Each structure stands twice: as C-alpha cells, then as structure tokens.
Amino acid sequence: MSDRYLDFTNSSFGKTLAGMIGLPTPPRLKRASAPWAAQPLEGKYVLVGSSSGATLAAPLLRALSAAGAALRIIPEHAGLPPLKAAAAELKLSLHGNPAEGVGEARNHALVFDASGLSSPWQLRELYDFMQPVLRGIASNGRILLISRAPESAADIQARTASTALRGFIRSLAKEVGKNGTTANLVEVPTGADTAIDPVLRFFLSEHSAFVDGQVLPLALPQTANVALPGSLEGRIALVTGAARGIGASIAETLAREGAKVIGMDHPSAEGGLGETMAKIGGVGLALDVTAPDAAARIAEEVGKSFGGLDVVVHNAGITRDKMLRNMPPHFWDMVVNINLGAILKINEGLLKQGFNDGARVVCISSIGGIGGNAGQTNYGATKAGVIGYVDGMAATFAKRGGAINAVAPGFIETTMTAAMPFGPREVGRRINSLSQGGLPQDVAETVTFLASPAANAVNGRTLRVCGQNFFGM
C-alpha cells in the first residue's frame, strides 16, 4: 500500500504547505536497487573519528577503504592519534573535513571508533567530534559508532562509558531521522576485530535504510572471514511463507544475491507461490509448516535436487488478535503452532538431517514481541519466544560453523498492515524516527545480510528493522 502522506509531503506543493503549517515531512528513503557492491562507498565521503586509546582504528580504516570510501578527519580532534597511526601503517590518506558551506560534497557517513573509552568524562571526545559536523551530513546519511562490549570492559568506569553509548546513539537517531539519516552502534568483542568489514558495509549502505537506533553486539566468529559481495552465490536457501508479502521479498532478495531459493508456503497459497518462484527461478514447496512430518518432507525434497540447506528463513507467521479474555483456544493454538512451534520442530529435524555444515537460520520476530500489543498476547508471546530461542540456540549452530539470528520488523507496508483501520495504521506508520512504514524489502535486506556467511560475527542476536519504532524501546 502506498503512503499517500509521504508522497504528498515530498511533492513541491506538499512540502511548501507542510512547512507553512508545521507538519512533519517524512524523508524519502534511498534503498538498494542492486546486489551488494564491491565498493558501496565509492565516491562517498566518510568522516572518521576516534577516542584516545581506540583499538579498532586499523580494521575500521581497512574496511572503509576497501569499500571505496574517501576518508576525512577533523585535524584538530583530540582522539586522532590511533587513526593517524593506523592510516600511516595502511598507507591511507586522511583528508581534512572542509569547513561548512565551502561547496565540497557533504559527508555520507560519520563513523566513530569509541573502543578506547575509559571513563564517562572521555565521552567528551565523542561530543567534540559529532557536535560540529552533524549539520553537514548528507540526507540518507549514516552515523555508526563502534565500541567494545560493556561486559568486556577493564573496569567500572570503562563499562559505564561504553554503556552510555547505547543511550547516546538511540537519542541521536531520533534527532537525525528527519533527513533519512540512521544512527547505530556495533559492539565488537576482542577477537572479532577483522569481522567488522561486512557489518560496516551493511550499516553504511542503502541495504540498511530502515535499520535505525539499534545496538548490535557481535559474537566471536567461528569461521574464517568471507567477503560480503558474492557470499550467497550458489547457496541453497529455504524460505517459509514465501508466496507473498515479506516472505516473497526475502526470496527475491536472496535470489538477487545468487542463492537458489526453495519457497515454501501453505498448500492453499500454491498459486501465489508458483508466481513468486517463477520470477526468481526458484522452486516451490507446498507444505504447511505445522505438518507433523514438515522437517522430513523438507529434507527429502531438498535432498533430491540440492543435497542440503545452507540457509533457512522461518518467515511464515499469522495473527489471530483478540483480547485474552475473549480469545478462543484455537486462536491461541494456531498462532503458537505456526509462529513458534513449527520453527522449533523444523530446526530440530533439520539439525538431524537437512542442514549443511555452516547453515545459517534467520527467524522472523516482531516488535510486538518486544513492546507488546493489547489483543496480541498469543502473537506477542510467540515473537518474544523467537528472541529467546535464537539466543538459546546460538551455541548449537556455532558448533557447526553456522548461526541463528532473528529479525524483528516494525510497521511494514504489507497486506497485513493495509487491512488495519485508518487511524491505527497512520499512527503505526509515523511513530518511528523515520516517520514512515518500512517496506518488505527492508526486512528482506537484513535477513539476507544475516543469511550470509560473511555475517560470521552475528549469532544469537535480534536485529530490529523498524525505523527505530518508539515501541518497546
């Protein structure tokens, strides 16, 4: 469903009118229209900064330069020594940030290495870096902080400082969303330094347009690093609920990156499934996720033509909303069986037979499982359960060189949300930092990133794709 308010306020008349009467103008987000590029930051300026004593400068600069970024610094900034030392070692040029209004291209991204923070007072280095340059960031820009996880801090002062970054980034994201800019924080454990390359590429590119205000703690990678572009080429991927909506978009995006997709959906959706699979050269499997033999049937069908599965996306999901006091038992059972029970049973079966070594699983949760919704005790329970499940299963998948993660979408423009009454739909769309609903593609881009073996330092996590929805923050 199209967002008429966004279209109107982005027309020249609409923009003027909205400005005159003080209405908000949701930005038009730039989304990816091509596969992961070798140099997604080519021709773009990235202003980098660091805290004194930062330890991630070398992998950070290496990744940015490999992605094609032109690197800028603020020459008088106090935290520069680690960046300068790393640039000298890597033989990279750092250019001074031009004064505002001198006609130079704006910065696409501001990236700050906060890994050296040792006390709350040192946060002042972050303020000194960000405060003067925020106005000069391009629309649809990116702000990214990288830091060490608070849990691994040497002492209480360092731990306090790195925890403070979470509040900083969530607040900053709410300030900069008006022009489509996102702000996120990645926490890197010692031992995962060189695994940040694909993570930076994702967060700094158009593939993450609706991922905002998030904190992503990385895990220790269990496998060698792999370049993101081309990493899904020839991989065998199963997507449940692939006939339409978010599932169809996930299937298309995985195929765009070179995966061979098996789309699975309820037998009643076979027609739609056939159409979606025909578009991407995929294979349809008409099967109910709750069928008692679902895992065995999947393993058998996939085994015949492809051997085993490298990727499984558990996307099939339903709502059956009613206040708990009025909820019939079959509403409860259907939602629990499809949204949660089927995921557990299918994975259990595929772990015995069906997954290749290194298999990566992505489950679809929801912000309804984080913030809760009146009338959705069944749905909220299942979507929160998914978050606990991926956390609890991470070690099992890591032992096999793979991973399991979840994506929690916010308000996404689908037939499900188009069916909402006008008032709640408009509110649902606007209560996030980007003042609009996401598209199925936004969820699909994040799922596809997590499905890639390049995301080898992301395991057991739930990443929200919600434009920083104000729900359950």
192 or 361, CB closer to ligand NAP?
Answer: 361
Question: What minimum distance in Å lies between the beta carbon of 306 and ligand NAP?
Answer: 20
Q: Which stretch binds ligand NAP (CB under 6 A): 50-58, 150-158, 195-203, 283-291?
A: 283-291
Q: What is the C-alpha to C-alpha distance for residues 446 and 258, in angstroms, rounded to an integer?
A: 16
Please provide residue 218's backbone torsions phi and psi, each rounded to the nearest 5 degrees: -80, 160
Strand intervals (E) in 218-267: 236-240, 260-265
69-108 exposure pattern, b = at least 16 Cβ within 10 A, e = fewer: bbbbbbeebebbebbeebbeeeeeebeebeeeeeeeebbb
3-class DSSP state for residue 356?
Answer: strand
**Residues paired with 404 in a beta bridge:** 361
Give 268 or 353: the residue with its C-beta nearer to ligand NAP. Answer: 268
Least CB distance to ligand NAP at residue 391 (A) = 18
Sequence-ordered list of residues with C-beta below 8 angstroms from that of 468, at least 6 positions apart, any chain: 170, 173, 174, 177, 182, 212, 213, 214, 432, 433, 434
Candidates 268, 305, 353, 396; binder of ligand NAP (CB under 6 A) is 268
Of the two residues 134 and 416, which places its CB atom closer to ligand NAP in the complex? Answer: 416
Distance CA 464, CA 370 (A): 10
Of residues 286-315, those binding ligand NAP (CB under 6 A): 288-290, 315
How near is the Cβ of 318 to ligand NAP at its closest, in Å? 5
411, 450, 453, 463: which one binds ligand NAP (CB under 6 A): 411
User: Residue 185 or residue 242: which is nearer to ligand NAP going by CB?
Assistant: 242
Distances (CA, A) of 129 to 122, 186, 259: 12, 18, 41
| Interaction of residue 263 with ligand NAP, rule CB under 6 A | no
The only residue of 47, 48, 215, 269 in contact with ligand NAP, by rule CB under 6 A: 269
**% helix / strand / coil in the chain, to the nearest 5?**
45, 20, 40
Candidates 113, 187, 265, 442: give the one binding ligand NAP (CB under 6 A): 265
Specify the residue, 141 or 245, whose C-beta has the smaller distance to ligand NAP. Answer: 245
Measure the CA–CA gap between 346 and 50, rounded to whole angstroms: 45
Region from 27-35, 88-96, 260-268, 351-359 binding ligand NAP, contact rule CB under 6 A? 260-268
- Please enumerate in sequence order all residues whose Cβ is within 8 A of that of 422, keeping only pairs 6 or more positions apart, or say none: none
**Number of residues forming the site for ligand NAP (CB under 6 A):** 28
Q: Which is nearer to ligand NAP, 268 or 396 (CB)?
A: 268
The torsion of the CA quartet 151, 450, 346, 246, rounded to 10 degrees, works out to 120
In angstroms, the Cα distances linking 56 to 254, 399, 448 are 31, 27, 26
Got the DSSP string for 1-37? ---HHHHHHTSHHHHHHHHHHT-----------SSPP
Q: Please tell me whether residue 338 binds ligand NAP under the rule CB under 6 A.
A: yes
- Is residue 247 close enough to count as binding ligand NAP by CB under 6 A? yes
Can you tell me which of 243, 302, 312, 404 binds ligand NAP, judged by CB under 6 A? 243
Binding status of residue 285 toward ligand NAP by CB under 6 A:
no
> Which of positions 350-379 make contact with ligand NAP (CB under 6 A)?
364, 366
Rounded distance between C-alpha atoms, residue 471 and residue 213, angstroms: 12
389 is known as an active-site residue: no
Q: Which of 5, 45, 127, 379 is catalytic?
A: 379
Tell me the closest approach of the beta carbon of residue 338 to ligand NAP, in angstroms: 5
> Given the complex with ligand NAP, which of 161 and 261 has the nearer CB atom?
261
Residues of this chain that interact with ligand NAP (CB under 6 A) are 240-241, 243-247, 265-266, 268-269, 288-290, 315-318, 338, 364, 366, 409, 411-412, 414-417
Catalytic residues: 379
